[in-house]
Chain A
């Protein structure tokens, strides 16, 4: 099994500038734990201390927002793409 995880620009400094990571897992929480194991500190950017997803980070499995699926229990399968999309506000300073 292999799931492609898309890492957004603000978090790529935690993944050695990699924009895509291949991981295994059967649900989203396992993917996040797998990320944390390889890139310590990244889970803290995605999840609150309680374990819930932070409210300024949306995670999509393929095209769908996991907040409207099963959250961290959302199942993932071989070939799926997990996209981490935090809010950004770059405009004109």
Chain B
């Protein structure tokens, strides 16, 4: 690529890299697509369940004729059609405390894109235990959050938010596909920066995007020495 600091060496680093993307809908599906496009060597993509018609306003790996069928099969088909050199593992399940540690063990980096705090906290524990970096991306309506977690160096998700909001409904937040896609593209950029070493990742910073007003803020975020997940690191 003809991007400053992104030469042959960075491209080889991507080729040698492996990334776990958890859930591959409006956010994770777009992340997976652009990581495949950038030449990441191996992707592990996890997303359970069958496609519903209402998913189609954002889940760009899916197709209309696939409604009612397992998302995992279409994820495999779409990503391999796009990049036939990709080493791809598709898991037809979502992250839990039971499977996250095993999944994280086998990759260099995680992109955290599910709609529930349970999954996000399970992945957070797993990456802290494995000392693996994670790109933490989330959206709600026209607002998005993005940060990069490096265990032991930056706050983990539990430092940032020790508890989930009582009002969060995993299937109740509004999604415009272009918004989940926008934060997904930025998350893919952060993943590529972490894997290649180019640029300055959003480590220790929380980027808050208000796409309605196009106001973007970066906050300084800090480790909680009393954090139950990473406080001992």
User: A residues near B, CB below 8 A?
Assistant: 6, 8-10, 19, 45, 54-58, 60, 63-65, 67-68, 83, 85-93
- Besides the contacts A64-B220, A90-B180, A92-B114, what 4 more A-B pairs have beta carbons closer than 8 Å? A56-B163, A89-B138, A90-B138, A90-B139
B217 lies within 8 A of A92 (CB):
no
Q: Nearest chain-B residue to A92 (Cβ)?
A: B25
A90 lies within 8 A of B27 (CB):
yes
Task: Please pick, from B25, B139, B217, the residue contacting A83 in the complex, using a CB distance under 8 A.
Answer: B217
| Chain B residues closer than 8 Å to A45, beta-carbon distance | 167
| Chain B residues closer than 8 Å to A68, beta-carbon distance | 222
Known: A9-B140, A88-B140, A91-B115. A19 touches B210 (CB 8 A): yes
B161 lies within 8 A of A91 (CB):
no
Q: Does B42 contact A (CB under 8 A)?
A: no
Q: Nearest chain-A residue to B54 (Cβ)?
A: A93
Q: Which of B12-20, B101-109, B141-149 contacts A (4 or more CB under 8 A)?
A: B141-149
Give chain B's interface secondary structure class: loop
Q: Does B28 contact A (CB under 8 A)?
A: yes
User: B residues near A, CB below 8 A?
Assistant: 23-29, 47, 55, 58-59, 112-117, 120, 137-143, 145, 160-168, 170-171, 173, 175, 180, 206, 208, 210, 212-213, 217-222, 224
Task: Please pick, from B137, B210, B219, the residue contacting A91 in the complex, using a CB distance under 8 A.
Answer: B137
Q: Nearest chain-B residue to A45 (Cβ)?
A: B167
Q: Nearest chain-A residue to B213 (Cβ)?
A: A19
A89 lies within 8 A of B217 (CB):
no
A80 CB to nearest B CB, Å: 13
Task: Please pick, from B59, B142, B206, the residue contacting A92 in the complex, using a CB distance under 8 A.
Answer: B59
Q: Nearest chain-B residue to A64 (Cβ)?
A: B220
| Chain B residues closer than 8 Å to A54, beta-carbon distance | 163, 165
| Chain A residues closer than 8 Å to B47, beta-carbon distance | 92
A23 CB to nearest B CB, Å: 18
B27 lies within 8 A of A87 (CB):
no
